[in-house]
Amino acid sequence: MSDDDEYEIPLQDQRVFGSGIKRRRVKFVPSTSGATSSVTSSTTPANSISDMYLRLVLPEGSEDDASIGNANFMVEHNKGEEISVSTCEICNLPLSSPPSAKSTTLRDGVADTGLSTSVPVSTTNPHEASFAHQVCLQHSHPPSHVDRNRKGLAYLSSYGWNPDSRFGLGASGQGIQNPIKVKPKDDKMGIGVVLPPESERRKTEKPTRLDAGKIKKLDEKDRKRTERLRQTFYQNEDVERYLGGG
Amino acid sequence: MADRRSELDLPKAKRAKLAESDPASNPYLAHMYEEDVGYGNGYGSRNGNKNGRFEQTGLSNFQRHASTAAQAHTAEDGPGNPFNNVPLSNQYFNILKTRRDLPVHKQRQEFLDMFQKSQILVFVGETGSGKTTQIPQFVLFDDLPHFNNKLVACTQPRRVAAMSVAQRVANEMDVKLGEEVGYSIRFEDVTGPKTVLKYMTDGMLLREAMHDHNLTRYSCIILDEAHERTLATDILMGLLKEVALRRPDLKIVIMSATLDAQKFQRYFNDAPLLAVPGRTHPVEIFYTPEPERDYVEAALRTVLQIHATEPEGDILLFLTGEEEIEDACRKITLEADEMIREADAGPLKVYPLYGTLPPHQQQKIFEPAPPPARKGGRPGRKVIVGTNIAETSLTIDGIVYVVDPGFSKQKVYNPRIRVESLLVSPISKASAQQRAGRAGRTRPGKCFRLYTEAAFKKELIEQTHPEILRSNLANTVLELKKLGIDDLVHFDLMDPPAPETLMRALEELNYLACLDDDGDLTTLGKLASEFPLDPALAVMLISSPEFYCSNEILSLTALLSVPQIFVRPASAKKRADEMKDLFAHPDGDHLTMLNVYHAFKSQAATSDPKKWCHEHFLSLRALQSADNVRSQLKRIMEKSELELVSTDFNDKNYYTNIRRALVAGFFMQVAKKDPTGKTYKTVKDDQSVLLHPSTVLGVDSDWVLYNEFVLTTKNYVRSVTSVKPEWLLDIAPTYYDLSTFKAGEIRSALQKTMDKVKRKQATKRTR
């Protein structure tokens, strides 16, 4: 599945990013007041995040056991301080730090646990907006690249195949989704040979040792070349004729 | 199906005649109409010989699906042949003795028990277990098809195998080939009314299924070499899975040589599995410590090294293609001669082996290794340098050393540019194991892999992709539609193809008018499916009478269905090219081939065709098989009431008509010259291509039609003929509907042509 996306549009039809738009740089400036840059910091106690982190990393024994033991579904676990810990069923993280009113919007009717606490309610980030949760969410796939006007697609669709479903053909849709791709091989290189990139290869050209004779020869060659170049560039036909040459 | 006759969408009235004729006259259906036709299994009760003839045979007291191995053993011992009561020959008893030594024989009872109990059975036997020859006979003794007027079929992926195995089994059963035991391959049917066991190619069984969806002729179907996963075997498996539900009396045996048999088991709803060990010896496997920069060179060195240092035993080297193999053979011979001169090495014989090699040369690989050069000298050795046909299809005894560079040429189809090509690519692990196994046929052997163990584990895929994932499926879709399978989405294939490949196939068939816009088979499509040809070729052939050149197109179709007719040996390239120029037609390669064929049929050639072909650098074998294919196709054309006509040779349109008829089939394989000069661009797919150097066509033709797209580092189109854009617009208007083209050079050129045609018509009208 990893390489199927690159296969989608023939190279010549792919648009370069930004073509059509003037590629002028979008400028940014830092915000003037530090406070507005963070949504939570103004109202939440600054140490709440670090508390949460510490609780995750260095949990006190009993709480840890409980949250791991019941990781799959919401757990209500009351400790002496009335902190209730429930885990999100999607990202398996505790929901309650800080418990917020917005947690009522959680899916599947996760019980509201936060109203009784004294922590400010409305301004905190809902758990669903947290990065960890977002990463764990099932994302929808981009639709297939297949041209919807193709007759072949119409035929397959009429028998219930959906190009966007990410299923192949076959009794249970188990077939491959993309045609098999093979790179043409035009060398005699054996299996497993890894060529260093072009730049590396040039570098590895071995320096050769020169003795006096060789240096003299090279020098001679160099001189001749310079002479020839000078001739071609600076020779003047009139002068040549005047001098009686050529 | 006959009700579709109403939707005749063919322009010419004469095609209407082609609508399905009386099914009773169809040879594939003959068994259904035995009373009328007098065809079918001669043992049928209607002959009244059931009581007369079979009372005395060894099989008469057998109970169907309740016999035992011991019973069969007694029946086999004679004295009369259990199938025709003729006294058994000495040769029969000699073979019988060796047959009873085969590994499968020990498990005969076990096989029968499982066979009787379940409808579908998966049988795994390694090479050398005797499964291909013995299992069908085991089935015969238990299934007794002749008492029920049925047959047992055993499919093979290759024609040669079907023929040779049938011959072998006929000998084993002491019957004449073509009577009790026969074979059926494309263009050849050696069976008779008495036939009870039929070896056939998987493709043939599929063709029979097209006319008889339930395969009612057969009481048991054995799919052999299922592990090779050919296109036809895959389709048959999907089909048999359905037929098994409709026909509970049908027995099915799937035979495979490899260990992934569980996959077959799972696919056939957990059918029971029986495994029989082969007769193989251990093979020691060696890897190179470092990857090889040049696998061919490394392979040659390995071969010579084995010859110099290893004890007696023949060598098998796997390479990828004809050219590489011939080159390697030459080099090995040269080097070995030097070794013999300088280091007193034993004599070395080198044999090439590839598919297009003439059979008599292929036979040479079975010659024994050469004897020592002198008495007491070092033993001789033979080296076989082959493609992967030596991997499974041909069994060569005496191989002890295998050299495996890890590559083979594999077919692959890219539906996005509609190109099917043969590419050199790494083999699979399964394939590497199969190759290694070749070393252990006669005694413990060695396999030298020219890659590292890490590369074996990391870079090789587990299984070779089955053919169905690597092929253009236009033909397959046509066959499936003819088989009555409309739901191509849920058809239960073991490895369903990529949706895009199937979409392409459907679209191609739609453009060829074999399928209508609803995806239903048209009359043309039904007719095309009668021909064992690619749809484009079939459509070209069927529409050729409209262009008054069906005789010529028939020859051309035959020529395009056989291997290359031109021979171009490396030693005489120039001479070969000169000879080809004798036949060259300025309008392209198709017409050149036609010229060759006509010359081949002329008096000058027929007196001594062998000599004539040799002189003209032509392949006699290819031309002869083209001749054979032509007569077979002609028979189908006559049966389908397609007229065989020709334009008068002196008519100026003689060649034009042929070129126009080509367009009728191959309008999807057209390229236009780039305005810049030498390269061409394929229509709609926009692939840059060059004309293959072998073409006789100059680069001055703007539009060319090609038969084949050859994918290498440069893309070539081979077998090209120049065409006119007017023809494209005229003959294939749906494909050349300009609104479906991307804006560009090709579209504007077509637009110009269209305007020109319109202007011309307008001026004509005004006149």
Within a 10 A sphere around the Cβ of B352, how many other Cβ atoms? 23
Smallest CA–CA distance from A178 into chain B, residue:
B498
Among the listed residues B493, B336, B338, B470, the one whose alpha carbon sits nearest the alpha carbon of residue B410 = B470
Distance (Å) from the alpha carbon of A181 to chain B's nearest alpha carbon = 7
Structure confidence at residue B593 as a pLDDT band (50, 70, 90)? very high
R_g (Cα) of chain B, nearest Å: 28
Structure confidence at residue A111 as a pLDDT band (50, 70, 90)? very low
Structure confidence at residue A113 as a pLDDT band (50, 70, 90)? very low
pLDDT digits (tens, 9 = 90+) for B431-470: 998 899 888 888 899 999 999 999 999 999 988 999 999 9
Spatial separation of the C-alpha atoms in residues B158 and B233, rounded to whole Å: 11
pLDDT digits (tens, 9 = 90+) for B627-673: 989 999 999 999 999 999 999 889 899 999 999 999 999 999 999 99
Distance (Å) from the alpha carbon of A190 to chain B's nearest alpha carbon = 5
Where does residue B413 rank: exposed (0-12), middle (13-18), buried (19+ CB within 10 A)?
buried
Q: What is the bridge-based pairing of β-strands B680-682 and B688-691?
A: antiparallel
In the prediction, which pLDDT does B750 show? 92
Q: What is the dihedral of CA B421, B424, B425, B429, to 10 degrees?
A: 110
Residue type at B309 in one-letter notation: T
- Which of B489, B506, B709 to mutate against chain A (most A CBs within 10 Å)? B489
Q: What is the dihedral of CA B508, B511, B517, B522, to 10 degrees?
A: -90
Where does residue A131 rank: exposed (0-12), middle (13-18), buried (19+ CB within 10 A)?
exposed
Asked if the model's pLDDT at residue A36 lies above 70, the reply is no
Among A152, A160, A182, beta carbon nearest to B503? A152
- Max mean pLDDT among A52-61, B344-353, B707-716 falls in B344-353
pLDDT digits (tens, 9 = 90+) for A187-202: 888 888 887 766 666 6
pLDDT digits (tens, 9 = 90+) for B509-533: 999 999 999 999 999 999 999 998 9
Between A216 and A62, the higher pLDDT residue: A216
Asked if the model's pLDDT at residue B555 lies above 90, the reply is yes
Q: Region of A229 please: left (phi>0), alpha (psi -120 to 50) or beta.
A: alpha
Smallest CA–CA distance from B501 into chain A, residue:
A179
Among B406, B465, B493, beta carbon nearest to A170? B493
Enumerate the residues of chain A whose CB falls inside 8 A of the CB of residue B469.
176, 179-180
> Are residues B406 and A152, on separate chains, in Cβ contact within 8 Å?
no
Asked if the model's pLDDT at residue B727 lies above 90, the reply is yes
**For the ranges A180-189, B35-44, B622-631, which has the lowest average pLDDT?**
B35-44
Structure tokens at A46: 């600054």
- High-pLDDT (> 90) share of chain A, %: 9
In the prediction, which pLDDT does B767 show? 67
Peptide bond connecting B79 to the previous residue in cis, omega within 30 degrees of 0: yes
- Max mean pLDDT among A83-97, B316-330, B343-357 falls in B316-330
Q: Which of residues 419-478 of B touch A (CB under 8 A)?
A: 423-426, 450-452, 454-455, 458-460, 465, 469-470
pLDDT digits (tens, 9 = 90+) for B219-272: 999 999 898 899 999 999 999 999 999 999 999 999 988 767 888 999 999 999
- Max mean pLDDT among A125-139, B123-137, B303-317 falls in B303-317
Spatial separation of the C-alpha atoms in residues A85 and A95, rounded to whole Å: 7
Count how many pairs of residues, chain A against chain B, have C-beta atoms within 8 Å.
151
Which positions ≥6 away from A47 have C-beta within 8 Å? Answer: none
- Max mean pLDDT among A8-22, A65-79, B18-32, B58-72 falls in B58-72
> Are residues A170 and B487, on separate chains, in Cβ contact within 8 Å?
no
In the prediction, which pLDDT does A117 show? 42
Enumerate the residues of chain B whose CB falls inside 8 A of the CB of residue A194.
291
- Kindly state the average pLDDT of the residues B357-386: 83
ipTM metric: 0.80
- Max mean pLDDT among A46-60, B277-291, B334-348, B632-646 falls in B632-646
CB B758 within 8 A of CB B730: no
In the prediction, which pLDDT does B573 show? 87
SS3 at position B127: coil
Between A202 and B424, the higher pLDDT residue: B424
- Half-sphere CA count of B165, side-chain side, radius 13 A: 31
Asked if the model's pLDDT at residue B363 lies above 90, the reply is no
Q: What are phi and psi of B128, to 5 degrees?
A: 90, 0
Q: Which of residues 492-521 of B touch A (CB under 8 A)?
A: 492-493, 495-507, 510, 517, 519
